[in-house]
Amino acid sequence: MTMLQKTSRTFYIPISGLVSGLREAVSSGYLCMRAIDEIEDHPELSEPLKVKLLRGVDAAFRSNNLAAETETLFAPYRDKLPEVTLRLHEWAALCPVSIAPTVFRYTAMMADQMADWAERQWIIRTESDLDRYTYSVAGMVGEMLSELWLWFDGTKTDRNKAIAFGRGLQAVNILRNRAEDLDRGVDFFPKGWEFKDMLQYTKRNLKIADDYIADLKQGPALKFCKIPLALAHATTKLLSAGGSKLSRDAVMKIVSQIR
């Protein structure tokens, strides 16, 4: 939970409110994916090295000794990689045994697809490219969460709406981090797109995400999903008005209204 709080205030709050068992599963999935996201976004690692590390993570999650494989893989780069990445095997070990194969499968798949994007230098020319990228780094998170809800209490969800839930949250990040991404030489906007186009894409996916949570019955899944989605809507509204980031007070006010 300490690492969650360090890496994401958006997800720390809803994860900390989950019941035992589900909390460990979601924490494991989030931190494993955050660990590899830090590789993909690392400002000092070369693209070939990112590909090597991400492919190595994919292989490690498919091996019989994840801890040994990742420790060997990361050892030469301990001075460059953040703590959340270096402790990847710990986050994996946190997951309940009965659902661990699902979390491992999605983490491996995400690492592999992130490596593909690094090889392509994150070139996004069309909306279809953008859909593929946002699926690779976030849409499949929505899929994974849906499998966790089903595992925990039988909650069934619509796969396409689950993908849009993750995709919408990622689109908000693309809008919010636009200047930072351009500074590091990455442009996630399709060719010819302006802010208004990405804003429309974001709102369209968030609308489907609204439908996703509207289908959820009362329980942990609904309680969890309401918070990041409400924060995403609020951030989108703020960005539309020329702002940049929700204040801590604004976040806490939104969360208190949901609870």
Q: What is the percent of the chain with per-residue pLDDT over 70, rounded to a whole number?
A: 100
- Structure confidence by residue, pLDDT tens digits, 197-230: 999 999 999 999 999 999 999 999 999 999 999 9
pTM of the model: 0.93
Q: What is the average pLDDT value for the chain, to the nearest integer?
A: 95
- Structure confidence by residue, pLDDT tens digits, 120-159: 999 999 999 999 999 999 999 999 999 999 999 999 999 9
Alpha-carbon distance of 148 to 102, in angstroms, equals 8
- Quickly state the pLDDT bin for 33 (edges 50, 70, 90): very high
CA 208 to chain CA centroid, Å, is 18
pLDDT given at position 255: 87
pLDDT given at position 185: 87
Sort 24 into a burial class: Cβ within 10 Å, 0-12 / 13-18 / 19+. middle
Reduce the secondary structure of the chain to three states and give it as a string.
CHHHHHHCHHHHHHHHCCCCCHHHHHHHHHHHHHHHHHHHCCCCCCHHHHHHHHHHHHHHHCCCCHHHHHHHHHHHHCCCCCHHHHCHHHHHHHCCCCCHHHHHHHHHHHHHHHHHHHHCCCCCCCHHHHHHHHHHHHHHHHHHHHHHHHHHHCCCCCHHHHHHHHHHHHHHHHHHCHHHHHHCCCCCCCCCCCHHHHHHHHHHHHHHHHHHHHCCCCCHHHHHHHHHHHHHHHHHHHHHCCCCCCCHHHHHHHHHHHC
The yes-or-no verdict on residue 259 having pLDDT over 70 is: no
pLDDT given at position 196: 96
- Structure confidence by residue, pLDDT tens digits, 87-97: 999 999 999 99
Q: What is the percent of the chain with per-residue pLDDT over 90, rounded to a whole number?
A: 88
The yes-or-no verdict on residue 48 having pLDDT over 80 is: yes
pLDDT given at position 244: 82
- Structure confidence by residue, pLDDT tens digits, 182-196: 988 899 999 999 999
pLDDT given at position 248: 84
